[in-house]
Structure 1
């Protein structure tokens, strides 16, 4: 299984719009360090047989797919319905054209219902030939229930993200927890034994809707993953500072990072 980090930034990305002359507000991040450039958070999970699952369709999706040479996957997994995780949904029309069929969209029932309400045309039944619009088929997934995605076992678990919830994802020995500030006990059960955990860490100080560094380190002590990779990072999280200050076993993600992990169990 290969995991590609398409983007690891917060809702505004890094740099944020603004700054001197309008060329970007970098906050505490050094603009000379390329790994401080962060597009909106998304990952692609690819199995050895070529099956691919995209997690979220943020507003930077087209540029992310082109930058990483990605033109084929069969499913999308949505963590929640905030704009920085769904606003690039129309860009999957190009994928529809390459694979010649609609994609399946997985997520919590309320998330998919909101997507269907906001993007009604995308979820209408597809009539071949051709794709003049993106085409998705909704497949709601209950929290805590294993589901076959492209023939492989995935599990969504509940998280708290400020005023709304979000879905964490477990796929074999890998877990992904973007946009989370609180983990219920059920999430800790689903994260037990995970090897590699990619987790929201927006900044160093406490935040009302996102995990911060001290909270992530507390979770790490309880879950004990071998490797923790930070994502959904804002302009407070400078690459060089993190390299100098993060404990062993905790590292910053960056746009373009790839991970090689064992495939999860296949489901006949």
Structure 2
């Protein structure tokens, strides 16, 4: 059963360009502003198989991301962790509710749900279905919470999704494996169990914030190269990239089988 993984956003928590710059038009860091693949929104992704779509995180640019990628319907959402760059677009779920005509199933850990309820309490209030013959009304997002656990395989949209525990430095996050493809954003360390879940991959999308020194909460290029040599996926794609990660410079210098991702990149996979 084939599927696609669309990288809606591949930037770090501030996006690229960041706010600022000499004339206020944006700070590109070490990245070439004339290379369109250096323009990066915050990290979200969509897995699509047949008519079903799973949204991974609700970035601040979610509305623009879905429109740019012509994705007009979402059937479920999964949150990897509750940092602002991965959840600040949660209110856009109300439009997804309208398109679906129903509450949207949401998947995450109890810890993440507790934080989301604290910040977006209105999205988790009881929803009353309309009277027979009347259309559903969604003036706020409506999410039905479901728990997932690291190290387990969960059924989402009828697919088997392998949930991977990750260390983000300041707290845990979730990586996800869909058949022969894995998506691992916001991670600085993997334990042995997580590494075992990442073996025998065709494509691995992995957090790589910087080419510079080690970062307290994100992998740098040195770490990713070491993981890649250990796991040996056929293809490794970098995401959650910061202002020193110029697309052309990376393409010219990365080891074989490694490449930078970009907003709108579509990856093909298969549930095996």
TM-score by length of 2: 0.95
Tell me how far apart the structure 1 counterparts of residues 37 and 199 of structure 2 sit (CA, whole Å): 30
Per the alignment, residue 219 of structure 2 pairs with 211
1:157 is paired with a residue whose SS is strand
Q: 1:131 aligns with which of 127, 138, 144?
A: 138
More displaced, 123-132 or 161-170? 123-132
CA drift at 1:145: 1.1
Query: Which residue of structure 2 lines up, in the alignment, with residue 173 of structure 1?
Result: 180
- For the pair 1:224 / 2:225, whether they are aligned, the reply is no
The Cα shift of 1:189 comes to 1.1
Partner of 2:132: none
SS at match of 2:23: helix
- SS of the aligned residue for 1:21 comes to coil
Aligned-residue Cα RMSD (Å) equals: 0.9
Distance in 2 of aligned mates of 1:145 and 1:179: 19
- Residue 88 of structure 1: CA displacement? 0.2
Q: What do residues 192-224 of structure 1 show as CA deviations (whole Å, max 9, x unaligned)?
A: 112110000001012111001010000001111
TM superposition outliers: structure 1 runs of 4+ over 2 Å: none
Aligned residues: 263
Return the alpha-carbon distance in structure 2 between the equivalents of residues 197 and 187 of structure 1.
13
Residue 68 (str. 1) matches residue 69 (str. 2): yes
2:54 alignment partner in structure 1: 53
Question: Which residue of 2 is the match for residue 30 of structure 1?
Answer: 32
Give the structure 2 partner of residue 191 of structure 1: 198
Q: Distance in 2 between matches of 1:73 and 1:42?
A: 13
Determine the C-alpha separation between the residues in 2 that align with 1:261 and 1:230: 17
Partner Cα distance (2:164, 2:269) in 1? 21
The residue number in structure 2 matching 1:163 is 170
Once the two structures are superposed, the pairs formed by residues 51-130 of structure 1 within 5 Å of their partners are 51-128=52-129, 129-130=136-137
| Structure 2 residues without counterparts, runs of 5 or longer | 130-135
Aligned twin of 2:46: 44
For 2:187 and 2:41, how far apart are their aligned partners in 1?
A: 18
Deviations 1:133-174 (A, max 9, x none): 011011011111111101110021111111111111111111
Which residue of structure 1 lines up, in the alignment, with residue 133 of structure 2? none
Deviation, 1:117, is 2.1
1:125 CA displacement? 2.2
Structure 2 Cα separation of the partners of residues 99 and 131 of structure 1: 10
